[in-house]
């Protein structure tokens, strides 16, 4: 009997001492304390969202870098008048008319024979080439950068709109194609009224909008 009483007493003491131990208020998942390892050697593509829709043109100044290639960091190159650029090992590549990500892919393809899995990053430093001109009877004639795709109506808006004495039905868009020049007719009032919207073409670098 004495042994039974002693055992019960020992059990009570053990239970009380266990309950007296402080318990964590916020139990921690042991898995959450395991640090997440990152791969230091993983290449990082820089974001170029602000220029995602921009099409390169002759005169644009670019900065080109190839990840982990010391001799190919921050190489500055100008898009030549014929639209090409020249880059070490990749050679001559057509840049004009391409978005930046497409030129990155083209350079990477040219380097693939010399560098394993090349990662190319391009920054647009100056968009000197992608400009349009609006001349004639508008409020602010001049040269305008075309940082994105813009149509005739948007170009006229950049130029402050037509003046009072402008001939809104006889506007022309002049485009140089090689040695030839193409002419597109544009009736401002028709487009404003939602008619013949096909006239409201997307302008290309070097286009001139003339308002008589």
What DSSP line would sit under the chain, residue for residue?
Answer: -HHHHHHHHHHHHHHHHHHHS---SSPPPGGGGSPPP--TT---PPP-GGGTTPBP-TT-EEEEEETT-GGGSSEEEEPPTTSEEEETTTEEEE-TT-BHHHHHHHHHHHHTTTSSS--EEEEEEE--S-EEEEEESBSS-EEEE-SS--BHHHHHHHTT-B-TT--TT-EEEEEEETTEEEEEEE-HHHHHTT--GGGSPBP-TT-EEEE-
pLDDT score recorded for residue 18: 52
Q: For residues 30 and 35, what is the distance between their CA atoms, to the nearest angstrom?
A: 11
pLDDT score recorded for residue 22: 54
pLDDT score recorded for residue 185: 96
Q: Given pLDDT bands bounded at 50, 70 and 90, which one contains residue 47?
A: very low
Res. 149: pLDDT tops 90: no
State phi, psi for 148 to the nearest 5 degrees: -145, 175
Altogether, the residues listed in the chain come to a count of 212
Q: Given pLDDT bands bounded at 50, 70 and 90, which one contains residue 21?
A: low
More confident residue, 198 or 71: 198
State phi, psi for 70 to the nearest 5 degrees: -60, -35
pLDDT score recorded for residue 94: 94
pLDDT score recorded for residue 186: 97
Res. 67: pLDDT tops 60: yes
Res. 110: pLDDT tops 90: yes
pLDDT score recorded for residue 203: 92
Instruction: Return left, alpha or beta for 45; rule: phi > 0 is left, psi -120 to 50 is alpha, else beta.
Output: beta
More confident residue, 209 or 9: 209
More confident residue, 117 or 12: 117
pLDDT score recorded for residue 109: 94
- How high does pLDDT run on average in the chain? 81
Res. 175: pLDDT tops 80: yes
Res. 23: pLDDT tops 60: no
Count of CB atoms within 10 A of residue 175's CB? Answer: 16
Q: Which domains does the chain have, with CATH numbers?
A: 49-126 (3.30.1950.10), 131-211 (3.10.560.10)
More confident residue, 124 or 51: 124
Q: Given pLDDT bands bounded at 50, 70 and 90, which one contains residue 50?
A: low
Res. 49: pLDDT tops 70: no
């Amino acid at each position: 009997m004495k042994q039974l009483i002693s055992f019960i007493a020992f059990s009570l003491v053990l239970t009380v001492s266990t309950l007296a131990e402080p318990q964590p208020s916020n139990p921690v998942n042991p898995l959450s304390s395991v640090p997440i390892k990152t791969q230091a050697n993983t290449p990082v593509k820089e974001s170029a969202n602000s220029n995602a829709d921009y099409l390169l043109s002759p005169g644009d100044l670019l900065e080109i870098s190839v990840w982990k290639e010391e001799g190919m960091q921050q190489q500055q190159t100008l898009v030549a008048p014929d639209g090409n650029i020249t880059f070490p090992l990749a050679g001559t590549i057509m840049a004009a008319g391409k978005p930046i990500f497409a030129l990155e892919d083209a350079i990477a393809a040219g380097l693939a024979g010399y560098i394993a899995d090349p990662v190319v990053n391009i920054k647009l430093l100056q968009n000197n080439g992608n400009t349009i001109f609006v001349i004639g009877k508008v409020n602010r004639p001049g040269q305008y950068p075309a940082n994105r795709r813009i149509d005739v109506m948007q170009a006229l808006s950049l130029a402050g709109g037509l003046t009072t004495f402008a001939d809104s039905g006889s506007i022309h868009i002049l485009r140089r194609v090689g040695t030839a020049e193409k002419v597109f007719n544009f009736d401002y009032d028709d487009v404003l009224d939602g008619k013949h919207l096909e006239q409201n073409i997307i302008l290309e670098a070097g286009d001139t909008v003339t308002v008589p």
